[in-house]
Amino acid sequence: MQRNPQLNEKGELQHLLSIEGLPREILVQILDTAESFAGVTEREVKKVPLLRGKSVFNLFFEPSTRTRTTFEIAAKRLSADVINLNIAVSSATKGESLLDTVANLSAMQADIFVVRHASSGAPFLIARHVKPHEHVINAGDGRHAHPTQGLLDLFTIRHYKKDFSKLTVAIVGDVLHSRVARSLIHGLTTLGAPEVRVIGPQTLLPAGVEALGVKVFHDMKAGLKDADVIVMLRLQNERMRGALLPSAQEFFKHYGLTADKLSLARKDAIVMHPGPMNRGVEIDSSVADGKNSVILPQVTFGIAVRMAVMSIVAGN
Amino acid sequence: MVGLYTGGAWLAERLHPMLGLKTPLGLMDIAFYRDDYAARGLKHDPKRTKIPFDVNGSELLLVDDVLYSGRTVRAAMNELFDYGRPASIALVVLADRGGRQLPICAQHVGAKVDVPEGMRLRLKRDDAGRLALALETDRAA
């Protein structure tokens, strides 16, 4: 039997590539460890000595400000040295292959590679070729996965709702192109959320999405009814060109989260968004800044979650 | 008073009301300050450290169940200093089994005990909340 590429021979987390296929115990370990790190990030001295002497390479083959910054802050709070490489404007454009780039960085004594790549599977390829003491963390690969975003979403839900076992979670919008949605759905089903709904137009939902264990809604009002958690996805403007949607205005009318539509969910529902958000396209400003919104706490929790992932993999 | 998870925290939860201390009890997990992370990694799920008072200028009682190598106390002091500069720290332990590897001693000791090498002494709590010192084979050894 082939071993899960994320786990070592003892079944411990060696690389974080995808939430899919991770056992429940490891998800809980990450969330519990992140809870302890959340305490550290509230202190005056927001640093612990855990990764002193280790080097973290942020390899971003695709631009991202928020994810790269939160990984950088997380690594620095663990006392690691962080090197940011914006490969989109570097060696790759000179023709160097992905594995050659990684081999060169490995020769510079890297301990952790944080990888963001436009091609699905790129972090898996790197993980197969690194040395045993090196660890790979997927920071988003193509349409496939964005596990630390999924984990911070799970952390946020657990923080506000405590228990997954009675929750109705609605994920709204462009599920088709969203690696965030995929990671979150796997996490929610693994942790036992009884009802996960996806809401969107037929053209933005992947074929056979029901197989992931979700309920499909094309009518947002029906889908939001009595939801405890609403996760809005970014509508990627570039999708408009592919004729998947008539216009942003039309999308907002049917699937944009307004105070009106929010009122159908539970009174204490939380509204999440992985960012960057398009105000007036998938979410109305009054909701994004409203009392149900936990969009900014998500960003803060993201630091603690990334500290947890880095300190767990680097110790295994 | 600051209790160290898990045994020291149970002990501190008993001692704190007995001594009638007015400052709330702090609880600490030193997992992020251990000196054996490189060898062992993060093996258990750490608890969240809670220090609900200002450490600066405070007279602290640090509570643990068993004092052995002194490495846990070293880690705890490092973590405490990331919260501020205490006026003093005194160490309170239920049992001192000797075997120190660092220049650390306890100011308040319940009992000195001889424990054979390769054995582990630690505080356990049953469902009724009763505390007992247990001697077991050290799995890490």
**How is chain B classified by DSSP, letter by letter?**
-EEETTHHHHHHHHHHHHTT-SSPPEEE-GGGG-S-HHHH-S-S-PPPPB--S--TT-EEEEEEEEESSSHHHHHHHHHHHTT---SEEEEEEEEE----SSS---SEEEEE----TTEEEEEEE-TT--EEEEEEE-TT-
Mean pLDDT confidence for A59-80: 93
User: Best mutation site among A10, A50, A78 for testing chain B: the one with the most B CBs within 10 Å?
Assistant: A50
Question: For residue A287, what pLDDT is reported?
Answer: 97
Interchain CB distance below 8 Å, A315 and B40: yes
Which chain A residues contact residue B82 at CB under 8 A?
43-45, 47-48
Q: Of the candidates B43, B50, B84, which has its C-beta nearest A39's C-beta?
A: B50
Interchain CB distance below 8 Å, B42 and A311: yes
What is the C-alpha to C-alpha distance for residues B56 and B87, in angstroms, rounded to an integer?
Answer: 7
Asked whether B41 and A312 are in contact (CB, 8 A), the reply is yes
- How many Cβ atoms sit within 10 Å of the Cβ of residue A18? 24
What is the C-alpha to C-alpha distance for residues A27 and A202, in angstroms, rounded to an integer?
Answer: 31
* Percent of chain A residues topping a pLDDT of 70: 95
User: Best mutation site among A12, A31, A46, A48 for testing chain B: the one with the most B CBs within 10 Å?
Assistant: A48
Residue A235 has pLDDT above 60, yes or no: yes
Mean pLDDT confidence for B70-85: 96
Tokens coding A60? 């971003």
Residues 6 or more apart in contact with residue B138 via CB below 8 angstroms: B118, B119, B120
Which chain B residues contact residue A48 at CB under 8 A?
32-33, 79, 82
Interchain CB distance below 8 Å, A33 and B29: no
Which chain B residues contact residue A316 at CB under 8 A?
41
Closest CA of chain A from B48, distance in Å = 4
Question: For residue B38, what pLDDT is reported?
Answer: 84
- Per-residue pLDDT tens digits for A254-312: 999 999 999 999 999 999 999 889 999 999 999 999 999 999 999 999 999 999 999 99
Residue A51 has pLDDT above 90, yes or no: yes
Residue A95 has pLDDT above 80, yes or no: no
Question: For residue B141, what pLDDT is reported?
Answer: 47
Interchain CB distance below 8 Å, B33 and A49: yes
Chain centroid offset of residue A9 CA: 26
Question: For residue A89, what pLDDT is reported?
Answer: 59
Interchain CB distance below 8 Å, A36 and B50: no
Which chain B residues contact residue A13 at CB under 8 A?
none
Q: What is the mean pLDDT of chain A?
A: 92
Residue A243 has pLDDT above 80, yes or no: no
Mean pLDDT confidence for A123-134: 94
Establish if A25 touches chain B: CB-CB under 8 angstroms.
Answer: no
Question: For residue A284, what pLDDT is reported?
Answer: 96
Mean pLDDT confidence for A24-30: 96
State the pTM of this model.
0.91
Mean pLDDT confidence for B18-25: 96
Establish if A49 touches chain B: CB-CB under 8 angstroms.
Answer: yes
Place of tokens 């009884």: A194
Closest CA of chain B from A308, distance in Å = 10
Q: Is A230 buried (19+), middle (13-18) or exposed (0-12) by CB count in 10 A?
A: buried
Establish if A315 touches chain B: CB-CB under 8 angstroms.
Answer: yes
Residues 6 or more apart in contact with residue A286 via CB below 8 angstroms: A258, A259
What is the C-alpha to C-alpha distance for residues A73 and A67, in angstroms, rounded to an integer?
Answer: 10
Residue of A nearest to B47 (CA): A36
Mean pLDDT confidence for A103-131: 93
Residue of A nearest to B35 (CA): A50
- Per-residue pLDDT tens digits for A153-187: 999 999 999 999 999 999 999 999 899 999 999 99
ipTM of this predicted structure? 0.84
Question: For residue A254, what pLDDT is reported?
Answer: 93
Comparing B54 with A93, the larger pLDDT belongs to B54
Question: For residue A34, what pLDDT is reported?
Answer: 96
- Per-residue pLDDT tens digits for B22-76: 999 999 999 999 999 988 888 777 899 999 999 999 999 999 999 999 999 999 9
Establish if B77 touches chain A: CB-CB under 8 angstroms.
Answer: no
Residue of B nearest to A37 (CA): B48
Mean pLDDT confidence for A177-203: 94
Interchain CB distance below 8 Å, A36 and B78: no
Interchain CB distance below 8 Å, A315 and B42: yes
Q: Minimal CA–CA distance to A142: which of A128, A114, A122, A127?
A: A122
Cis peptide before A203 (omega within 30 of 0): no
